[in-house]
Amino acid sequence: MNELQSALQGIVPAEIVAAVAIAADKAECFEYVEEGQHLVNAVVARRNEFIAGRRCARAALSGIAQAPCALSADEGGIPRWPENTVGSISHSRGLCCAVAATADAVTCVGLDLEKTTRLSPRAMERVVHPLEASFVGEDQAKGSLLFSAKEAFFKAQFPKWGAQPNFKDLALQIDTVSEQMSVGEIAPHLPEVLREAAVRMQFRYRFLGDYVVTLCWLN
């Protein structure tokens, strides 16, 4: 958890606040009953990840002076962030994190935490754009980085523009020295407003153990 906290501290810009937590092993209660309605029948591990994710989200929101409040989800599972705020939650194997910012400072944000040891060669084939192939080769960790970055991009754009891009609709350019990325190409069939925003989006990432965490945001 400390490693994730440090990694996030290294990638969030000043206007974005991050928080981390570990999901409990034993069944926890929802902090706000109303926000967990869609998960009453879910397995304990999923409920606990949700609860820890919400805990992170409220901690991140407190960093931008937002008082604690319920964060319910819409029918698609997207958290309803308080007015004038944006944020994103991610979890993987009980490790949870969230970011938040004011909507004045940040237009949209997506956060994604992934294991780097799980992407099959077949899944890699679905994720990697031809322009990214020479960077990735057969390296599972690099493939996982692209997977994570594209998930972060998806989570940043979806609440605002509702687009459903495929992984290969995006070709990312990766700078492994600064650990930053940018959109090199985006498919022409996607909405013009998203295409225009995507090339201005910023990406930062860190590898930590067998995880990678990626942040994507637009000021």
Ligand X SMILES: CC(C)(COP(=O)(O)OP(=O)(O)OC[C@H]1O[C@@H](n2cnc3c(N)ncnc32)[C@H](O)[C@@H]1OP(=O)(O)O)[C@@H](O)C(=O)NCCC(=O)NCCS
Which residues of the chain form contacts with ligand X (CB under 6 A)? 49-50, 53, 73, 76-79, 89-91, 112, 150-151, 153-155, 158-159, 165-167, 169-170
CA 9 – CA 16 distance, rounded (Å): 10
Q: In whole angstroms, how close is the CB of 97 to ligand X at the nearest point? A: 9
Comparing CB distances to ligand X, the nearer of 14 and 188 is 188
Q: One-letter amino acid identity for 25?
A: D
112 in Cβ contact with 155 (< 8 Å): yes
Of residues 155 and 204, the one with the C-beta less far from ligand X: 155
Contacts for 41 with CB less than 8 Å, ≥ 6 apart: none
| Cβ neighbour number for residue 138 with a 10 Å cutoff | 8
Q: How near is the Cβ of 114 to ligand X at its closest, in Å?
A: 7
| Least distance between ligand X and beta carbon 96 (Å) | 8
CB of 65 to ligand X, least distance (A): 22
Nearer to ligand X, 49 or 132 (CB): 49
**For residues 29 and 116, what is the distance between their CA atoms, to the nearest angstrom?**
31
